Amino acid sequence: MSRDSRPAFDPYKHLNITINPNGSCTRHFIWPMVDPDPDPSPGKLAASKDVTINHETGVSVRIFRPTNLPSNDNAVARLPIIIHLHGSGWILYPANSVANNRCCSQMASELTVIVVSVHYRLPPEHRLPAQYDDALDALLWVKQQVVDSTNGEPWLRDYADFSRCYICGSSNGANIAFQLALRSLDHDLTPLKIDGCVFYQPLFGGKTRTKSELKNFADPVMPVPAVDAMWELSLPVGVDRDHRYCNPLGYLPQKEKVGRLGRCLVIGYGGDTSLDRQQDFVNLLVAAGVRVEARFDDAGFHSIELVDPRRAVALLNMIRDFIS
């Protein structure tokens, strides 16, 4: 078969979805979901519970707390908070998936932190900036728990250190985390304090192809046509791939705000389709005066931590070093 006669790559078939006439998406797969487990029995990594934070949108968070709580002079030591935005390919799976539940349980246990995982709405039924709105709702809800010391969520009220809050996101979740960090600057979060941001394999885009996109065009995990489809289904209708939600580099009004961000950790791998955009993102942060720690490994690919336990451990160690 000649090159020109090969069947065209169907990104929707690769993603196993069908786009309906009304703009919604039928997902032809069933992701195993995990119910919360609030029982903090010894032997478990973490206990978890779900809390609805916006009854109008139905958005909720899943809170994870380690079962082995450290003590300090016969009192429970206060734990840092990680507001976690999971990767989903924008459109594919929610926060209560097995993979995200395992990730957050390990994070809570290994780092001894409280994890607040945001169950944000998915496109295309809810296009951007709905996900940024949901993340901000979660952040402001966390702040309210310390303000309302009597009726606040007990796991946060009793165990959390509100002066050490971190925003952490993976893949498109890191995109959401970046926009959440920027939006947080418009709000008085006192007494909550954002002490840093972790952007793991952040997903950005643009109209012009990068070298890493061309090199990894047919990547089995992140083929470029499938990424194009994800953006097409996630961005507001009518905007192009250089919109600031997708490509933050060219949006000048945002640059002054970027410079006001606190410490940032950016993690990436050489085999990631989005590598060049991630490194451009680091350059954007550095040029704005942000204190950045960039950890890039030549070996590895997008979401490698889901299939290689050693990389999952290495990722947790990098986050531990950053928040210590």
Token pair for 296 = 């890039």
- Does residue 171 carry a catalytic annotation? yes
Of the residues 133, 134, 219, 272, which is catalytic?
A: 272
Position 236, amino acid: P
Token pair for 315 = 């990722």
How confident is the model at residue 43, as a pLDDT? 85
User: Of 264, 262, 289, 80, which is closest to residue 185 (Cα–Cα)?
Assistant: 262
Of the residues 117, 171, 234, 303, which is catalytic?
A: 171
How confident is the model at residue 73, as a pLDDT? 63
How is 179-225 classified by DSSP, letter by letter? Answer: HHHHHHTTS--TT--EEEEEEES-----SSPPHHHHHTTT-SSS-HH
How confident is the model at residue 276, as a pLDDT? 97
- Does residue 28 carry a catalytic annotation? no
Of the residues 84, 86, 243, 302, which is catalytic?
A: 302
At 121, give phi and psi (nearest 5°).
Answer: -70, 150
User: Of 203, 218, 224, 226, which is closest to residue 280 (Cα–Cα)?
Assistant: 203
How confident is the model at residue 40, as a pLDDT? 87
Query: pLDDT per residue over 173-230, tens digit each?
Result: 999 999 999 999 999 999 999 999 999 999 999 999 999 999 999 998 889 999 999 9
How confident is the model at residue 72, as a pLDDT? 65
CB 183 within 8 A of CB 91: no
- Does residue 126 carry a catalytic annotation? no
Residue owning tokens 């590598």 = 275
How confident is the model at residue 69, as a pLDDT? 85
| Residues of the chain falling short of pLDDT 50 | 1-6
